[in-house]
A and B are shown apart, each in its own frame.
Chain A
Amino acid sequence: MVGAALQYLPKLYRNAILAGLAWVFGVGLLAELIIQILRNLFGNNAARIAFTQGALKPLWAGIVFVAAFVLYVLITPRRKAVSARYAALDTKQQNVAQVVGSAVLILTLFILPSLVGTYLSEVLSNVGLYVLMALGLNIAVGLAGLLDLGYVTNFAVGAYVMGVLTSTGPLGRGEMNFWMVLPVSVLAAMFTGFVLALPVLRMRGDYLAIATLGFGEIIRLLALSDWLAPYIGGAQGILFIPKPSFGPIIFDTPQKLYYIILAACFLVLFISIRLNNSRTGRKWMAMREDEDAAGAMGIDTTVAKLLAFTLSAASGGLAGGIFAAKLGTIFPHSFSLLISINVLAIIIVGGMGSIPGIVVGAFALIGLPELLREFSEYRMLLYGILLIVMMLTRPEGLWPSAVRRRELHAETEAVGAD
């Protein structure tokens, strides 16, 4: 009945009803997050008006529904006009609009921790670490087409270097400053990336994936081994890694650590974009498309591959170093295969080779499981279902690069054109 009634409504209103329902569902799903924000903005009472025990009150659910419905009906017809007006602007004005947009985004990111509280700042920091790793791995997988399943290696090297050089515990050597060690973590990861790339230079595709998978496991087992235990602690791990400090500021809470991670993300983002649009990025893409033809164009594919692996590792080392200082302790089991898989999944879900896609993908894959805590034991099940639905309905990723979108939709367009 309801379905039939929906069919007869004009498309705009039908979609508006769906949007309203989606919003109610979304608000209910993210109740905890919203309560936190309300509490921080307007105090405890505001949160209590709309929510009881972490759930939305029926009256407020109605209000959200009506608000979303009305907004949808009002905005949708105007959306086209707005994008048309944007397209009509000249490049200079478009640039201004983009700068304003980015400024708003950056400002939001900047004040976010004080809005969302400790727990969600922690979640955001984890998302940030994964953004770092995914941006790094994207160089190898997304740009150069080198399927690396052992990315955790770089993360582990960065973390252990940080651990050993800064720890004030018995395993610490040097008790150096976080900021001095961070570049060392990055360089050590780059070195590892370079050395591990040497034996796999001639491998392609699946074979490369298996070999790198092996490296990931080797590094975890090395960290666990008794052989290296006197230096890096074996199963006991490294303890007493001090929190970073800068002058009088000690980055001891998730809210403060968030800013270090945010800064690192911006740095790596900048470098990724620059590389992506450079001769080097073009070389990698050519190699991904056709390695033999790339060679015939005068590209030294050996050097290009080594560079891709080395630069890709850098960001993993950076994430690892921050991770060690953030946690204060590191154990071998933190560096499991699952990290490599997760990072790869972020790239695929976000949209292969797309830099904004990586950020969106990291939020979806790392942030979402945290926000789905409502469903307790069904959480991972729901997460898995979402991934499958996502791959079926949007194989090009959440925010694909323009090229990839064209690639995956070329066939449907061709069929449609017939």
Chain B
Amino acid sequence: MADNILVASNVTKRFGGLVAVNSVDFVIPRNSIVSIIGPNGAGKTTFFNCITGFYQIDEGEIDFDGEPLNGLEPFQITKRGIARTFQNIRLFSNMTAIENIMVGSESHLKSTWMGAIVGTPGTRREEQETESDARDLLDFVSLRGKGDTLARNLPYGDQRRLEIARALASKPKLLLLDEPTAGMNPRETAQTTQFIRRLRDELGISILLIEHDMRVVMGISEYITVLDYGQKIAEGLPKEIQANPRVIEAYLGRGAASGLETEAEAAAAD
């Protein structure tokens, strides 16, 4: 079997009578960029939440790095090396940028509240290291000099990048990005796309992406899975997905296949 960092098999999540995710099989090869796409309400974010422990799955199994994640709390999953961002940015808005990143490194800090009261050398050292690591990450996402700004006062694009920096602070092996380019203009989108590729190439992190912008998806994904009504309707290389009639149908409705061709052409021309 190929070297997969995440293997999900037969994952099902129900909300009452609604089956939000219906027996989905899914793998993320190590060091790859993989995308999940699908129309609104297709269950993409639900699937994300199943992986990160926000929801407990009803059936199936998710293995990360060879170990099952079933039944773990979100904070435990983060400790194992999965970090995420949120579709609608969820920074700690009344904390500064640097504090946000420092919270991100929680999962490998060891100091205790008693150490903090006494002011032990170990605690001080750890605080200093955490802060200098956080400053490095701030530089990495090109937010140098904005460390003491409150997260809420940062421009939108900066907030998106800060959220990624916060996720990176946990030193993840797998990063889940939920619509990282939502609400961005074409230039910001292009920068973000570049940036995501850099994450994989420079830091060796595997990336799972939910994205609506087809140019982004087709541009950087190595592998794409399409969900519709909680079901996996297609998977494959970007080219295969673009040509897949079921995908076109799901997105544009029956008989509108020609619409996507123009879009695909636009993507190719980009």
Partner of A296, one of B74, B93, B123: B74
Interface contact A300-B103, CB-CB below 8 Å: no
* In the complex, A68 has a CB within 8 A of chain B: no
Q: What's the least CB distance linking B128 to chain A, in Å?
A: 12
* In the complex, A202 has a CB within 8 A of chain B: no
Interface contact A286-B103, CB-CB below 8 Å: yes
Q: Given A282-B103, A406-B150 in contact, is the A298-B113 Cβ separation under 8 Å?
A: no
- A278, A292, A296, A403 — most chain B CB neighbours (10 Å): A296
Partner of A295, one of B73, B117, B119, B152: B73
> Considering only CB atoms, which chain B residue lies closest to A298 in the complex?
B107
Q: What's the least CB distance linking A112 to chain B, in Å?
A: 28
What 5 A-B pairs are tightest by C-beta distance, nearest first? A298-B107, A278-B116, A289-B92, A298-B78, A280-B113
* In the complex, A285 has a CB within 8 A of chain B: yes
Interface contact A299-B92, CB-CB below 8 Å: no
Taken together as a complex, chains A and B put the C-alpha atoms of A399 and B175 apart, in Å, by 41
* In the complex, A293 has a CB within 8 A of chain B: yes
- Note all chain B residues with C-beta closer than 8 A to A278: 111, 113, 116, 123, 127
Partner of A311, one of B75, B106, B113: B113
- Note all chain B residues with C-beta closer than 8 A to A282: 95, 99, 102-103
- Note all chain B residues with C-beta closer than 8 A to A300: 73, 75
- Note all chain A residues with C-beta closer than 8 A to B113: 275, 278, 280, 307, 311
| 0 or 1 for each of A305-323: is its CB under 8 Å from B? (1 = yes) | 0010001000000000000
Q: What's the least CB distance linking B231 to chain A, in Å?
A: 27
Interface contact A297-B170, CB-CB below 8 Å: yes
Q: What's the least CB distance linking B152 to chain A, in Å?
A: 7
Partner of A283, one of B91, B106, B119, B166: B106
> Considering only CB atoms, which chain B residue lies closest to A289 in the complex?
B92
| 0 or 1 for each of B71-110: is its CB under 8 Å from A? (1 = yes) | 0011100110001101000111111000100111011010
> Considering only CB atoms, which chain A residue lies closest to B113 in the complex?
A280
| 0 or 1 for each of B152-179: is its CB under 8 Å from A? (1 = yes) | 1100000000000010001000000000
Taken together as a complex, chains A and B put the C-alpha atoms of A282 and B103 apart, in Å, by 7
- Note all chain A residues with C-beta closer than 8 A to B127: 278-279
- Note all chain A residues with C-beta closer than 8 A to B153: 406, 410
Residues of A with Cβ closer than 8 Å to B? 271, 274-275, 277-283, 285-286, 289-290, 292-301, 307, 311, 403-404, 406-407, 410
- Note all chain B residues with C-beta closer than 8 A to A295: 73-75
A-B contacts, 13 of them at CB < 8 A, read: A274-B117, A275-B117, A277-B116, A282-B102, A285-B92, A289-B93, A296-B54, A297-B103, A297-B106, A299-B106, A300-B73, A404-B94, A410-B152
> Considering only CB atoms, which chain A residue lies closest to B149 in the complex?
A406
* In the complex, B52 has a CB within 8 A of chain A: yes
Taken together as a complex, chains A and B put the C-alpha atoms of A307 and B113 apart, in Å, by 9
> Considering only CB atoms, which chain B residue lies closest to A401 in the complex?
B94
Taken together as a complex, chains A and B put the C-alpha atoms of A311 and B117 apart, in Å, by 12
Interface contact A299-B116, CB-CB below 8 Å: no
Q: Given A296-B74, A407-B94 in contact, is the A275-B170 Cβ separation under 8 Å?
A: no
Interface contact A301-B116, CB-CB below 8 Å: no
- Note all chain B residues with C-beta closer than 8 A to A410: 152-153
User: Which chain B residues (113-158) contact chain A, with CB distance < 8 Å?
Assistant: 113, 116-117, 119, 123, 126-127, 130, 150, 152-153
Taken together as a complex, chains A and B put the C-alpha atoms of A406 and B150 apart, in Å, by 9
> Considering only CB atoms, which chain B residue lies closest to A302 in the complex?
B73
Partner of B104, one of A280, A281, A297: A297
Q: Taking chain A's interface residues, is the majority helix, strand, or loop, or is none over half, making it mixed?
A: helix
Q: What's the least CB distance linking A17 to chain B, in Å?
A: 39
Q: What's the least CB distance linking A403 to chain B, in Å?
A: 5
Partner of B79, one of A279, A286, A298, A406: A298
- Note all chain A residues with C-beta closer than 8 A to B102: 279, 282
Q: What's the least CB distance linking A411 to chain B, in Å?
A: 11
> Considering only CB atoms, which chain B residue lies closest to A277 in the complex?
B116
Q: What's the least CB distance linking A301 to chain B, in Å?
A: 7
Taken together as a complex, chains A and B put the C-alpha atoms of A301 and B78 apart, in Å, by 13
Taken together as a complex, chains A and B put the C-alpha atoms of A407 and B86 apart, in Å, by 23
Interface contact A275-B116, CB-CB below 8 Å: yes
Partner of A297, one of B78, B117, B130, B150: B78
> Considering only CB atoms, which chain B residue lies closest to A286 in the complex?
B103
- Note all chain B residues with C-beta closer than 8 A to A279: 102, 106, 109, 111, 116, 123, 126-127, 130
Contacts A279-B127, A280-B112, A280-B113 known; list 18 others, CB within 8 Å: A274-B117, A278-B113, A279-B102, A279-B106, A279-B130, A285-B92, A285-B99, A292-B90, A294-B92, A296-B52, A297-B103, A297-B170, A298-B106, A299-B75, A299-B103, A299-B106, A300-B73, A406-B150
Taken together as a complex, chains A and B put the C-alpha atoms of A298 and B102 apart, in Å, by 12
Partner of B92, one of A271, A293, A406: A293
Partner of B94, one of A277, A292, A296, A403: A403
Taken together as a complex, chains A and B put the C-alpha atoms of A292 and B109 apart, in Å, by 19
- Note all chain A residues with C-beta closer than 8 A to B126: 279
Taken together as a complex, chains A and B put the C-alpha atoms of A294 and B74 apart, in Å, by 9
Interface contact B94-A301, CB-CB below 8 Å: no
Taken together as a complex, chains A and B put the C-alpha atoms of A329 and B109 apart, in Å, by 47
- Note all chain A residues with C-beta closer than 8 A to B123: 278-279
Taken together as a complex, chains A and B put the C-alpha atoms of A274 and B117 apart, in Å, by 5
Q: What's the least CB distance linking A201 to chain B, in Å?
A: 13
Taken together as a complex, chains A and B put the C-alpha atoms of A299 and B106 apart, in Å, by 6
> Considering only CB atoms, which chain B residue lies closest to A414 in the complex?
B153
- B84, B102, B116 — most chain A CB neighbours (10 Å): B116
